[in-house]
Structure 1
Amino acid sequence: MPLDCVGTHPTVSGLLPDPDGGRRRMLDRFPLNPVLPAKDGDRARAFYRDVLGLELLSGPDDDPMMFRAGSGTLLMVTEIPGRVPPGYPMVSFLVEDIEAVVRDLKERGARMRPMPATATFDGHPAVARGDIMDFGVVRSAFVEDTEGNVLALNELLV
């Protein structure tokens, strides 16, 4: 589906067409702000601010924590001590020059998380190239934060 922009947030056009051929507006005009759990708020705050380089918008002791990412998007992290995060990515960053991003994150102390060699993306099998999985249409790498959340880094090739 083609992308267009409403305000500063990209939206997918062509969803829910109305009988007149226009677009019925639903949540496509609102920013999406994912929320990730953290076992230790202080540790998570330091990781997202100092390792990932996201700007902390909330106060130094606030919970939930709010971080600014690219294109005006926000990521929230909240302390939930007993929560066990899933083993798959909950957040995806669209990046350019994935090799440089991975290298820079590792230099800052980020831990890359390998994905199974049997992983596929839209039916395309992965070819592992170090920390990067090449699916032909997208190259991906996976970072595990200090709380066990998996973050995807995706570079679109099409």
Structure 2
Amino acid sequence: MLALAKKKGQGPTTAGVSRLGLPEVSAFLWETANGEICLGETFLSGGLAKLQCPAGASRPKSGSMVATRFGASMVGDGARVVVVVDHKAKVESVEFRGSEANWHFLRTLSPELSGRDVYYIVINTYPDRPDDQLDLTLKVGTEQVTDHISVAWD
């Protein structure tokens, strides 16, 4: 996967590659010299590999500290969402439809790419309702705040 990314001019910088191994998928995240954030995923059930390096920054909606970087995509019997969170906030929990979601810190982006933290979130149910959202509990300083992001399919 990294060889393909390098051929396309989307290879990792010296910041390196972050890897997350889950039962359903191995995920790799890196920054490119062009300022892109790339996500490579290998799905272990069928050998499918996916590489995404969208251009442009992920911007949170006004008043939010969270932005979707990679929208919902199928993983196992559920889906995954990759979000970036303001560097002042830390994720404490994530819920989807009232149930705890499985979430993992992947890395802090370089200052050139905002310095925000990247989280990989796995939900056990397909988000198939127009009002589906993730509810994130964040710690900002000494306070807990709740933020919400819509879950839309890629």
TM-score for the superposition, normalised by structure 2: 0.32
Question: Greater strand share, 1 or 2?
Answer: 2
Q: Which has the larger radius of gyration?
A: 1
Question: Greater helix share, 1 or 2?
Answer: 1
- Which structure carries more relative contact order (alpha carbon 8 Å, separation 6+)? 1
TM-score for the superposition, normalised by structure 1: 0.31
